[in-house]
Amino acid sequence: MSDQFTKQKLWGGRFTGKTDPLMHAFNQSLRYDQRMHAADIRGSIAYAKALARVGILTGEEEVQIVEGLQAVEREWQSGQFVPAPDDEDIHTANERRLTELIGPLGGKLHTGRSRNDQVATDMRLWLLDQVVDVQTSLEGLVRVMVERADKERDILLPGYTHLQRGQPIRWSHLLLSHAFSFKNDLDRLRQLVPRISVLPLGSGALAGNPFAVDREFLARELGFMSLAENSMWGVSDRDFVAEFLMWSSLTMTHMSRLAEDLIVYSTAEFGFVTLSDAYSTGSSIMPQKKNPDSLELLRGKAGRIFGNMAGFLMTLKGLPSTYNKDMQEDKEPLFDTVDTVSASLKIAEGVIATMTVHGDRMRAALTMDMLATDLADYLVRKGVPFRETHHVSGRAVALAEARQCQLDALSVQDFKGLHEKFEDDVVGVFDFEASVERRTAIGVRVEGRWIGRLRCCGLRSLLHRDRDRNRSR
């Protein structure tokens, strides 16, 4: 029986001619879907138990099949599993090897089951495991950003809009602006889990299972949160793949924006940060170069992930109902995306944890014209409408430019000449630390400091500072 199994494809009874060798290679997916071997065996073990519950398998047969499947998994884990030339995919390979180990009994495992519901189940099981790893990596990135922000909260630098200096901010405020994006990505990933955790097994090829297998038992056995309530949808739905690719595209967009900021800040022109050697490379011709290749790769990977999503959606959009072979194209973009996102999160965590921040260079980049809004706000506090104060402050900036001096070099009399509401205390405006401290609305201030607040699943209350120590300042 085992020899016959290796010579005959699962679907081979209808066909008498040989498959074109090129077509066989074109059709074969084992080279990449073998990474789902553990998920496939988990699903098969649960299905064997379900068959035993309805009398298709005896108790002894169930034990033999389960033990045989466990033996197959041990071969995968030890690297001893040897694919056969006719193994089309991981499902064929595992069933073929099971039959070699336990004989014709292995052929009973596929009773009432189709590769259509089998592959859909495997993919969901596999992705649920991967999401756990991705979530852990994302939490690690957020954590290191928050911890760094906590330690470096006293560093000031220019805040930019349009890549032009705008207002003074804290480095921690900037770093956490990216952390909040990743925190939202973490929330979205958790929200995606219930839509992945839907059991297709028991849907058959499309019309359902004819042996009354207990699908609720299968869901419990495999840890699914719910089960597909329409068998046609169950075998054909790949929204969970598309949604994970969408989630990954947005997460990598955030990654790319973080990378872009740090690339700019690491240039000699800025000199705000220096990447560690572990995440930099040199030039093949210019010995002095230290290139931020890690960040550039992270920025570039965002395009790759978006391409995976766009390509898969183009495959999915024109398919008729239930399973079509086009769906085999779901695995490679999904696998590549999981690998790329997981690695990117770990690399980003390493970059953030090890880079050097040059607070002196950041502060040196602050210029007094960045306090022009504070100057306008000063007059607002004197009762002058903001539209008027904006104009007056602009005139003060123009006067300083004409004299080729900083805004704080203007005399009190100069300011009084611009508006009668200016008084001697106007000099207090020109203090960068005071500027950031004046902004006290929710969004930046935590327990008396200009900094964002971030909470992340199971993490400590981040950026906590002892209240008594703050009050003593």
Tokens 């490679």 belong to 332
The active-site residue, picked from 78, 162, 284, 472, is 162
Euclidean distance between CA atoms 385 and 383, whole angstroms: 7
Choose among 22, 21, 109: nearest CA to 64. 109
Interatomic CA distance for residues 382 and 121, integer angstroms: 68
Question: How many Å from the N-terminal Cα to the C-terminal Cα in the chain?
Answer: 83
Q: In whole angstroms, what is the distance from residue 46 CA to residue 221 CA?
A: 6
390 labelled catalytic = no
Q: Are 40 and 90 in contact (CB under 8 A)?
A: yes
Q: Is 284 designated active site?
A: no
User: CA nearest 41: which of 78, 66, 11, 61?
Assistant: 66
Which among 338, 335, 351 is positioned nearest to 299, based on CA atoms?
351
- The 3-state DSSP class for residue 160 equals strand
8 Å CB contact between 306 and 333:
no
Please pick, among 283, 321, 411, 461, the residue that the annotation labels catalytic. 283
Nearest to 91 by CA among 201, 251, 219: 201
Q: HSE (CB half, 13 Å, CA atoms) of 68?
A: 24
The CA-atom distances, in angstroms, between 84 and each of 5, 15, 260 are 11, 20, 47
Torsion of CA 263, 264, 267, 273, to 10 degrees: -70
Query: Catalytic site residues?
Result: 162, 283
